[in-house]
Amino acid sequence: MENTIDSKKNELRLNQITETILDSYERLGGINHLEGPNLPSKKEVSRLVKSLSTIMFPGFYEEATINKNHPEGYLLAQCSTVLECLTNLLQKSLRHECKDGVTCLRSEGDCWDDAVEIGFRLMENIPMIREVVHQDIKAAFKGDPAASSYFEIVLSYPSVQAILVHRLAHFLEMQKVPFIPRMMSEYLHEKTGIDIHPGAKIGNGFFIDHGTGVVIGSTSIIGNNVKLYQHVTLGALSLTDVDRLRNEQKKRHPTVEDNVTIYAGATILGGKTVIGSGSVIGGNVWLTRSVPPDTTVTFDSPYLIFKQKDKVEKHVIDYQI
């Protein structure tokens, strides 16, 4: 009898919990409805990233059965699968943006046509994107004495995969695709610890050594042959709510010109901050002002203090970069 009463109490309690959660859905939103113009899912986007990476470098990121003498059939099948997945995701993103008829006047048919066109544009640009990524791989090989081959870099360097996906996501960002570019970049952020906003413009021969903790903001501009180390931040200065509205479309993140090296832990902030070509920014430097070309920026020789049982020694650090 007691168990029956407890069971009814638990059922009533669970029903009340369900009603409360449903009420929060009504008040706060946050449901990706399965019917109607639903949003792309993280699982679909992760599958897209993996498939695109496989087309970029077959056999490196996923197993690929490919006849080296006759690759056409394999590649045609891969491209067809990716295009179908990409087009469906694009249509979901475009339709959801227009679902209330407020921000967009496209019909469902128009969204599908636009999705197909953008999907084909990305696929048509893969050879060009591969050429740029190949320069990134060469920069990694040149910039890391520990690298034994290009194959090792593609197989094992998380920074190369992050840059590869950024190149693809940036293309979609430039097509004004909602949701998907940022989801692609955040998928790689979760996997690698490297956070590159798809809006950032990055030149050729880009290398991030080690990579963990690197943050590159949405309006950052990076030139050719730039090298970053771990925990570098290219960020924005904090804004008030009023400033945020005024600066929404303005450049908020730094510009780094060609042939710049930025060492571990450096933080560079502000849309007006320009790091001149050929400059070197030392580790843990904090910058909110521009740097002329061919300039080295470091701290002014901090001290290391060695405490032993009977004596204390103070040594000036001599930075040689």
Q: Which CATH number do you get for residue 224? A: 2.160.10.10
Q: Which residues contact 36 (CB under 8 A, 6 or more apart)?
A: 99
| Number of domains making up the chain | 2
Together in a domain, 165 and 264: no
231 plus 188 within the same structural domain: no
We report the CATH number of the domain holding residue 74 as: 1.10.3130.10
Q: Domain boundary at 131, 159, 193, which?
A: 193
Q: What is the pLDDT of residues 165-174, one digit of tens each?
A: 999 999 999 9
Question: Phi and psi (nearest 5°) for 142?
Answer: -70, -35
User: Over the Cα atoms of the chain, what is R_g?
Assistant: 25
Same domain, 96 and 80: yes
Q: Are residues 95 and 164 in the same domain?
A: yes
| Residue 12 counted as domain residue | no
For residues 172 and 206, membership in a common domain is answered with: no
Q: Are residues 116 and 218 in the same domain?
A: no
Is there a single domain that holds both residue 276 and residue 130? no
Instruction: Give yes or no: residues 228 and 308 share one domain.
Output: yes
Whole-model pTM: value is 0.85
DSSP secondary structure code for residue 291 in this structure: B
Q: Does residue 18 lie within any of the structural domains? A: no
- The answer to whether residue 23 is domain-embedded is no
- In this structure, is residue 71 part of a structural domain? yes
Same domain as 70, residue 151: yes
The crossing angle, in degrees rounded to 10, of helices 126-143 and 108-124 is 50
Q: Are 303 and 317 within 8 A, CB to CB?
A: yes
Q: Would you state the pLDDT for residue 90?
A: 93
Would you give per-residue pLDDT tens digits along the chain (321 residues)? 556 667 888 889 898 998 898 888 888 877 766 555 578 888 999 999 999 999 999 888 777 666 667 778 888 888 999 999 999 999 988 887 766 545 566 666 788 899 999 999 999 999 999 999 999 999 999 999 999 999 999 999 999 999 999 999 999 999 999 999 999 999 999 999 999 999 999 999 999 999 999 999 999 999 999 999 999 999 998 765 545 555 556 899 999 999 999 999 999 999 999 999 999 999 999 999 999 999 999 987 777 777 777 776 766 666 554
pLDDT of residue 317: 62
Q: Which of 151, 171, 193 represents a domain boundary (last residue)?
A: 193
Is residue 242 located within the same domain as residue 160?
Answer: no
Q: What's at 18, amino acid-wise?
A: T
Residue 296 lies in a domain: yes
Beta strands in 223-301, from DSSP E residues, in sequence order: 227-228, 233-235, 255-256, 261-262, 267-269, 274-275, 280-281, 286-287, 296-297
Domain span at 300: 200-321
Confidence (pLDDT) at 99: 60
